[in-house]
Amino acid sequence: MKIHDLATPALVVDAAGLAHNLATMAAALPGARCRPHVKAHKTTALARRQAAVGHHAFCAATPREIIGMAAAGLGDDLLLANETVNAERLRAMANTGARVTVAVDSAETVEAAAANGIREVVVDVDVGLPRCGCAPEDAGRIADLARSRGMAVRGVMGYEGHVVGNPDREWRATQTERCMALLLAAHDAVGGDVVSGGGTGTFDLNTWCTEIQAGSYTLMDTAYAKLGVPFRQALWVEATVVSVSAKGWFVADCGLKALGMDHGDPSVDAGEVLFCSDEHVTIRPGAESTPRVGDRVRVWPAHVDPTIALHERMHIADGEDVVETWEVDLRGWSA
């Protein structure tokens, strides 16, 4: 099958770009130095490629992702890098047979984990992003509470999520150092082997973590492309032109239901995106472009993670040939 034969909108992965990204990360952060974040792609077939280049520990944002990874035989070392107090989901993760570690940042999350069979935790520490994570000075207390409930404490995690997306590399470096000083102070109080954090934007700047939680590096997007990291945009949404107006625009069938929109409009090679509707993108064609109904357009998403979450599958392309199709099998929240 050729890309042109795919019904649209369709997620397409450039196999060469993906291979480049996987090899580049495996060289920079081999083996356990990278703990790939599956939230970025929600696809066990892609996680299997990450394992094939040496990364056997993964992290995830939802119990669904953890349970799906375990079911796919990728459960050597799974970290829920997020908090939950849902008893049923905690038990389901504990019962996968995989090695499952969960993040805790409060007495409530510790008690919920202990009560539902979780055996290992990391203490999630607020390093400056206004989101989850305990205060650094509370980390030791939370670790002690977890141990008192019979759980092993593997260490700490702290995500500099307010830093990873800034295009100024120097600023990212300086800020990451500040964040990690907080995380290392917490680690002193907590103990354990794991200091987990970082992302695609700081993968080579964050030299304090023992493992980097990068995910977007695999496929990238227009926002991450501005950071100057050595990864290629390897995912687009293939669309078909369905209407051409003499008034100076054309329309393709990839709308905001096929795109994560929180980082804004996508980009196209053939012109300027004017706006997205539910099932349409309206484009002003470039000077060289004479779009016709039935033509194909590659739509480059601004944010890869939520874009993939909207699709049932992704197609892997070697040039114009579709060589594999992978189910986006970790979508949604149900077990």
| Contacts with a second copy, residue ranges (CB under 8 A) | 7-10, 39, 61-62, 82-86, 88-89, 105-106, 108-109, 126, 130-133, 135, 161, 240, 242-247, 249, 251, 253, 256-258, 260-262, 274-280, 282, 292-294, 305-306, 309-312, 332-334
Q: Pick the closer one to a second copy by CB: 115 or 193.
A: 115
Chain centroid offset of residue 23 CA: 17
Q: Pick the closer one to a second copy by CB: 30 or 324.
A: 324
Query: Integer distance in angstroms from the first to the last C-alpha of the chain?
Result: 33
| Residue 139 beta carbon to a second copy: minimum distance, rounded to whole angstroms | 14
| Residue 334 beta carbon to a second copy: minimum distance, rounded to whole angstroms | 7
Name residue, tokens 């035989």: 73
| Residue 23 beta carbon to a second copy: minimum distance, rounded to whole angstroms | 26
| Residue 194 beta carbon to a second copy: minimum distance, rounded to whole angstroms | 20
Q: Which long-range contacts (CB under 8 A, 24 or more apart) does 318-326 make?
A: 318/15, 318/16, 320/2, 320/3, 320/4, 321/1, 321/2, 321/3, 322/1, 322/2, 322/3, 322/5, 322/6, 322/12, 323/15, 324/45, 326/43, 326/45, 326/46
Alpha-carbon torsion angle 297, 300, 306, 309, nearest 10: 40
SS3 content of the chain, % helix, strand, coil (to 5): 35, 25, 40
User: Could you tell me the strand order of the sheet in which 194-197 lies?
Assistant: 57-60, 77-80, 100-104, 120-124, 152-158, 194-197, 211-212
Q: Pick the closer one to a second copy by CB: 204 or 279.
A: 279
| Residue 205 beta carbon to a second copy: minimum distance, rounded to whole angstroms | 21
| Residue 241 to residue 247: CA distance in whole angstroms | 16
Q: Pick the closer one to a second copy by CB: 24 or 289.
A: 289
| Residue 52 beta carbon to a second copy: minimum distance, rounded to whole angstroms | 25
Q: Pick the closer one to a second copy by CB: 20 or 284.
A: 284
| Residue 332 beta carbon to a second copy: minimum distance, rounded to whole angstroms | 5
Cβ–Cβ under 8 Å, residues 57 and 38: no
Q: Pick the closer one to a second copy by CB: 302 or 317.
A: 302
Q: Pick the closer one to a second copy by CB: 82 or 200.
A: 82
Q: Pick the closer one to a second copy by CB: 150 or 292.
A: 292
Please name the residue ranges forming H helices in the chain.
Answer: 15-28, 44-52, 63-71, 87-94, 107-115, 139-148, 169-190, 304-309
236 pairs with which residues across the strands? 12
| Residue 280 beta carbon to a second copy: minimum distance, rounded to whole angstroms | 6
